[in-house]
């Protein structure tokens, strides 16, 4: 092979190596398609939330940018003295705005009602539920309620004055079905 052919082969090899490294390190993103999911955001609507509202809004905004794809449906609950839906749709910016515009008040957060409603509204096969609490007392009331079992499969991330719980809603039923299917084989 002459020098021109060697240089061309070396150049082609370098280009292929660069593309492989970009794909491997995520510089050249390759996204797998996935089915849309339901995302439930349950936000503490009590007055305890006022002091952490800006920090939580920024954190949730960056988190949503990481996990949401086109077609995902987001429902945002304000868990104040009673839970209520403050947003339901697919627009990321509207979700962020609904959290920034939340007006916390009262001393209690109805996480039990929001969790019960979120568990009952699941329409897709997959969901992601994120509960934000700025009041330790609010979580105590959930743990002593009939909805305590909904927190069984949770992961808690602690921050200075608030916590984020990723809740596996209705996960116990799915585990039972999968175990039953596995053992019946």
Distance CA 75, CA 81 (A): 18
Q: Identify the pLDDT of residue 28.
A: 46
Would you state the pLDDT for residue 42? 93
pLDDT, mean of each 10-residue run, the chain (185 residues): 68 68 56 78 92 94 89 92 93 93 88 86 76 82 70 81 84 69 79
> Measured at the alpha carbon of residue 111, what is the angle toward residues 66 and 167, in degrees to the nearest 5?
40
Counting every residue written for the chain, the total comes to: 185
CA gap 20, 159 in Å, rounded: 38
Q: Are 26 and 57 in contact (CB under 8 A)?
A: no
Chain CA centroid to CA 83, Å: 19
Which pLDDT score is estimated for 128? 85
Token pair 């940018």 is at which residue?
A: 65
88 bridge partner residues: 75
Distance CA(132)–CA(5), nearest Å, equals 62
pLDDT at position 168: 79
Is 88 strand, coil or helix? strand
| pTM above threshold 0.75 | no
Q: What is the pLDDT of residue 118?
A: 87
pLDDT of residue 162: 93
CATH number of 38-174: 3.40.50
């Amino acid at each position: 092979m002459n020098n021109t052919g060697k240089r061309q082969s070396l150049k082609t090899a370098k280009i292929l190596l660069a593309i492989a490294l970009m794909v491997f390190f995520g510089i050249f993103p390759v996204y797998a398609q996935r089915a849309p999911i339901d995302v439930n955001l349950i936000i503490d609507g009590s007055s305890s939330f006022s002091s952490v509202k800006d920090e939580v809004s920024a954190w949730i905004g960056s988190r949503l940018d990481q996990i949401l794809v086109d077609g995902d449906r987001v429902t945002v609950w304000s868990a104040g003295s009673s839970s209520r839906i403050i947003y339901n749709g697919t627009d990321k910016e509207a979700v962020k705005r609904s959290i920034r515009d939340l007006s916390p008040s009262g001393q209690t957060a109805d996480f039990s009602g929001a969790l019960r409603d979120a568990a009952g509204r699941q329409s897709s096969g997959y969901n992601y539920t994120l509960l934000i609490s700025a009041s330790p007392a609010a979580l105590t009331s959930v743990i002593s309620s009939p909805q305590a079992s909904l927190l069984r499969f949770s992961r808690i991330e602690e921050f200075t004055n608030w916590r984020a719980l990723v809740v596996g809603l209705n996960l116990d039923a799915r585990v039972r079905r999968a175990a039953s299917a596995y053992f019946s084989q």
